[in-house]
Amino acid sequence: MRTEAEAAGSPLEPGDFVQLPVPIIQQLYHWDCGLACSRMVLRYLGQLDDGEFESALQELQLTRSIWTIDLAYLMRHFGVRHRFCTQTLGVDKGYKNQSFYRKHFDTEETRVNQLFAQAKASKVLVEKWDVQHQRQ
């Protein structure tokens, strides 16, 4: 039987990873983890001005229901080169019964699916990938 240390693999060496000085920005609410992460990335890249961020949220009509595709559009708005990899091109119907999404799921489903459909024309790079990081 392998020990826990053996199962974890060999320890990381200095060249095995990159540690970036990304600032920590706490969530303001229970639902805004993606926005807090976006703020951290933008601040790290030197592109975060709180007023511009708030204006972008209004322009993109991002309120309390933030989906990952919304974050891809937000990064595009700020000119951040990125690729949004997802298992589902569109809304995952599995969220329909989760309490956070239940109340507005039908409205959000249409909105989110439209964002996926318009991604290429909006220059938002979206690719379908499975869990093993393989293109599908």
Which of 27, 119, 22 is closest to 76 using CA atoms? 119
Element (H, E) at 85: strand 84-86
Please indicate, yes or no, if residue 69 is contained in any of the structural domains. yes
Residue range 54-94, pLDDT digits in tens: 999 999 988 878 899 999 999 999 999 999 999 889 998 88
Number of domains in the chain: 1
* Domain span including residue 106: 32-133
Please indicate, yes or no, if residue 105 is contained in any of the structural domains. yes
pTM of the predicted protein model: 0.80
Query: Is the per-residue pLDDT at 103 higher than 60?
Result: yes
* HSE value, Cβ hemisphere, 13 Å, CA-based, for 34: 16
β-bridge mates for residue 86, sequence order: 128
Which of 56, 75, 68 is closest to 123 using CA atoms? 75
Residue range 18-52, pLDDT digits in tens: 888 999 999 888 888 999 999 999 999 987 788 89
Q: Report the pLDDT value the prediction gives residue 2, as an integer from 0 to 100.
A: 43
